[in-house]
C-alpha cells in the first residue's frame, strides 16, 4: 500500500498554486458573479497591488518593468494614452471617456496585474515557460468543460445564468445556441482566448506528442465555435505560419505530426455529427456554425455578400470620417456603444480612426508589434516563435471584427505569455 505524505511547505505550495490558478482563471475570463458585490477584476487589481508591498516583490516589479524591451513597450503605450487625453481637447463632440478608460484599464493590467501573475508564477511557484503553456491549457480546458456541460445538460445553461453568473448580454436570451461557459464576454474576447489555447495546446502536442493534448481539443474547439465563429480564424493563421516556418527551420517532423492531427480532427468531427443526429434539438447550434463557415468560405472565394458577417460589415460598419484631418488625427468620436454618435461601427480599425485617426492607430499598433517581434527574435524555441507570431497575426486579423486591444481575455493571455518570455533566459528548464 502506497502512503502519500506531504511536508508543510509542499502543502503550502499546492494551496498557493491552486489559489493562483483560480485567480488567473477569473482574471482571464472576468465572469460577473450573481452574489459577488462587485466585479471580480477589481478584487484582483487590489490583490495584485497588495502583493507588491510584501517582501522583495516591489523591487522585483521595478526590475521586471525595467527590462529594456518591456520598458520601451510601456513608454510607447503611455505616449498613446497621452494622445488619447489630448484628442478630446480638440474634438467638436462631447467628451466620452469610454475609449480612454478602456485604455487606462489595460494600462493597469500591463503595469500591475500581468506582472503580478508573471512574478507570482515565476518566483513563488518556480514556473518555467513550459509550465505557463500548460497553465493556459489547463484553464482553457476547464472553461471548455464548463461550456460542454452547459451545452449537453438540459437546464444547466439557465441555472448558470440565474444563480451563478450574470448574463453579460440580453441577446443571449434570443440566441440559445451561444453563451456556454463561465465568462464575461461570450461574443468575442473569451472565444478568442480559447483560440489562443488551441494554438498553445497544439504546440505542446508537437513538442511532446502526449495523447492527453489530443483529448483536450474537443473541449477547446467546442468552447470556441459555439460562442463566436471569429475564433476559427486562428486555425488557418496557425497552419499558414507553421507551414512557412517548417521550411525555414527545416523540421519535417512537424508536418508528420500535423497529418496525425488532421486524422484526429476528422474522427472528432464525425463524433460531433453523430451527437447532433442523436440530439436533433441541439441542431440549431450546428446550423448556425455551418452557415457561418460556409459563408466564410464563399467570402474567401470572392463572394463577400454570401457571408452574413461580411454583409453586415460592408453595409453599416465600414466607413471613415468625412474630413481628411479627422482621418489622420481623429475627431474624438466613440462609434461603438455610443447612442449619441451619428455613425456606428464594431470594427476595431474604424473605432481607432474615428477617435484618434491614423496617427493613434499607427502609434498603438507599432507599440504592440515591436514588443512581440522583439520577443519572437530573442526567444530560443522555434515553436514558441511560431506561437507568438500566430497570435500576433491573429490579433490584427480579428481587429477587423472588433476592438481586441483592450483588457480582453485574448490580449491578457497573449501579454502574459509574451511577458513571461522576458524571464526565459533566467530559467534552465524551459520546454522539457
Q: Is the pLDDT of residue 176 over 90?
A: no
Within a 10 A sphere around the Cβ of 304, how many other Cβ atoms?
15
The answer on pLDDT for 14 being more than 70 is yes
Q: Which pLDDT score is estimated for 370?
A: 96
Cβ density class 119-157: b for 16+ within 10 Å, e for less: bbbbeeeebbbbbbbebbbbbbbbbbebbbebbeeeeeb
pLDDT at residue 169, as a whole number: 77
Question: Are 309 and 365 in contact, with CB atoms under 8 Å apart?
Answer: no
What mean pLDDT, rounded, does the chain reach?
83
- Please state which of the ranges 107-116, 221-230, 297-306 shows the lowest mean pLDDT: 297-306
- Confidence grade of residue 206 (pLDDT, cut at 50, 70, 90): confident
Rounded CA separation 192/195 (Å): 5
Residue % of the chain over a pLDDT of 90? 44
- Dihedral (Cα; 267, 279, 234, 134), 10-degree rounding: -70
Q: How much is the average pLDDT of 326-333?
A: 88
Question: Measured over all CA atoms, what is the biggest interatomic distance in the chain, rounded to whole angstroms?
Answer: 79
pLDDT, tens digit, 9 for 90 and up, residues 105-129: 999 999 999 999 999 999 999 999 9
264-285: average pLDDT: 58
User: Which segment, 29-33, 100-104, 132-136, 324-328, is predicted with the most confidence on average?
Assistant: 132-136
Overall average pLDDT of the 322-346 stretch: 85
The residue among 1 and 20 whose pLDDT is bigger is: 20
- Lowest-confidence pick of 116-125, 201-210, 392-401: 201-210
Does the global pTM surpass 0.85?
A: yes
Which single residue is written with the C-alpha cell 515591436? 370
Q: Which residue has the higher pLDDT, 39 or 133?
A: 133
- Chain center to CA of 388: 12
According to the model, what pLDDT value does residue 398 have? 92
Distance CA 81, CA 360 (A): 9
Own/partner pairs, 383-388, CB within 8 angstroms, 24+ separation: 383/203, 383/206, 383/207, 383/431, 384/129, 384/203, 384/421, 384/431, 385/245, 386/203, 386/241, 386/242, 386/245, 387/199, 387/200, 387/203, 387/417, 388/417, 388/418, 388/421
Range with lowest mean pLDDT among 128-137, 143-152, 339-348, 378-387: 339-348
Spatial contact of 180 and 397, defined as CB atoms under 8 Å apart: no
Considering the chain, what percentage of its residues have pLDDT values greater than 70? Answer: 81
Q: What pLDDT score does 426 carry? A: 46
Rounded CA-CA distance 391/371 in Å is 13
Q: Are 333 and 91 in contact (CB under 8 A)?
A: yes
The better pLDDT of the pair 419, 174 is held by 419
For residue 50 the three cell numbers come to 497588495
CB atoms within 10 A of CB 260: 12
CA angle, corner 121, sides to 197 and 110, nearest 5?
75
Among 96-105, 294-303, 418-427, the least confident range: 294-303
Q: What is each CA distance from 225 to 40, 136, 297, 345, in whole angstroms?
A: 26, 18, 16, 23
pLDDT at 308: 54
pLDDT tier, 2 (very low <50, low <70, confident <90, very high otherwise): very low
Per-residue pLDDT for 428 more than 50? Answer: no
| Phi then psi dihedrals of residue 165, to 5 deg | -125, 155
Residues 57, 65: Cα–Cα separation, whole Å: 12
CA pair distance 43, 36, nearest whole angstrom: 11
The Cα 38–Cα 31 span in angstroms is: 11
- Return d(Cα 262, Cα 271) in angstroms, integer: 14
Amino acid at each position: 500500500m502506497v502512503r502519500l505524505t506531504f511536508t508543510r511547505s509542499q502543502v503550502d505550495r499546492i494551496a498557493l498554486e491552486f489559489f493562483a490558478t483560480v485567480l488567473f482563471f477569473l482574471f482571464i475570463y472576468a465572469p460577473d458573479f450573481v452574489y459577488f458585490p462587485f466585479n471580480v477584476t477589481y478584487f484582483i487589481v487590489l490583490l495584485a497591488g497588495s502583493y507588491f508591498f510584501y517582501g522583495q516583490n516591489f523591487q522585483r516589479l521595478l526590475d521586471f518593468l525595467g527590462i529594456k524591451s518591456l520598458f520601451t513597450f510601456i513608454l510607447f503605450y503611455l505616449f498613446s494614452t497621452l494622445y488619447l487625453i489630448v484628442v478630446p481637447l480638440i474634438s467638436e463632440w462631447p467628451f466620452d471617456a469610454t475609449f480612454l478608460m478602456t485604455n487606462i484599464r489595460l494600462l493597469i493590467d500591463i503595469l500591475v496585474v500581468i506582472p503580478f501573475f508573471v512574478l507570482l508564477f515565476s518566483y513563488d511557484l518556480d514556473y518555467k515557460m513550459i509550465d505557463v503553456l500548460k497553465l493556459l491549457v489547463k484553464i482553457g480546458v476547464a472553461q471548455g468543460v464548463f461550456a460542454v456541460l452547459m451545452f449537453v445538460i438540459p437546464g444547466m445553461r439557465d441555472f448558470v445564468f440565474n444563480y451563478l453568473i450574470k448574463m453579460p448580454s440580453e441577446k443571449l436570451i434570443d440566441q440559445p445556441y451561444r453563451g456556454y461557459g463561465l465568462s464575461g464576454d461570450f461574443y468575442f474576447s473569451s472565444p478568442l482566448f480559447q483560440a489562443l489555447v488551441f494554438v498553445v495546446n497544439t504546440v505542446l502536442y508537437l513538442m511532446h506528442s502526449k495523447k492527453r493534448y489530443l483529448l483536450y481539443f474537443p473541449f477547446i474547439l467546442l468552447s470556441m465555435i459555439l460562442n463566436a465563429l471569429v475564433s476559427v480564424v486562428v486555425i488557418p493563421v496557425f497552419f499558414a505560419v507553421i507551414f512557412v516556418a517548417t521550411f525555414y527551420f527545416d523540421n519535417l517532423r512537424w508536418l508528420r505530426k500535423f497529418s496525425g492531427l488532421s486524422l484526429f480532427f476528422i474522427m472528432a468531427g464525425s463524433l460531433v455529427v453523430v451527437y447532433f443526429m442523436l440530439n436533433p434539438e441541439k441542431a440549431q447550434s450546428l446550423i448556425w456554425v455551418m452557415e457561418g463557415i460556409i459563408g466564410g468560405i464563399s467570402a474567401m472565394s470572392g463572394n463577400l455578400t454570401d457571408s452574413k458577417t461580411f454583409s453586415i460589415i460592408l453595409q453599416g460598419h465600414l466607413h471613415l470620417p468625412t474630413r481628411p484631418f479627422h482621418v489622420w488625427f481623429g475627431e474624438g468620436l466613440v462609434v461603438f456603444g455610443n447612442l449619441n454618435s451619428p455613425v456606428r461601427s464594431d470594427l476595431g480599425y474604424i473605432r481607432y480612426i474615428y477617435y484618434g485617426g491614423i496617427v493613434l492607430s499607427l502609434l498603438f499598433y507599432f507599440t504592440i508589434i515591436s514588443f512581440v517581434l522583439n520577443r519572437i527574435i530573442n526567444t530560443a524555441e522555434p515553436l514558441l516563435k511560431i506561437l507568438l507570431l500566430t497570435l500576433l497575426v491573429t490579433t490584427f486579423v480579428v481587429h477587423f471584427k472588433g476592438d481586441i486591444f483592450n483588457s480582453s481575455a485574448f490580449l491578457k493571455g497573449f501579454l502574459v505569455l509574451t511577458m513571461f518570455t522576458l524571464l526565459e533566459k533566467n530559467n534552465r528548464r524551459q520546454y522539457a
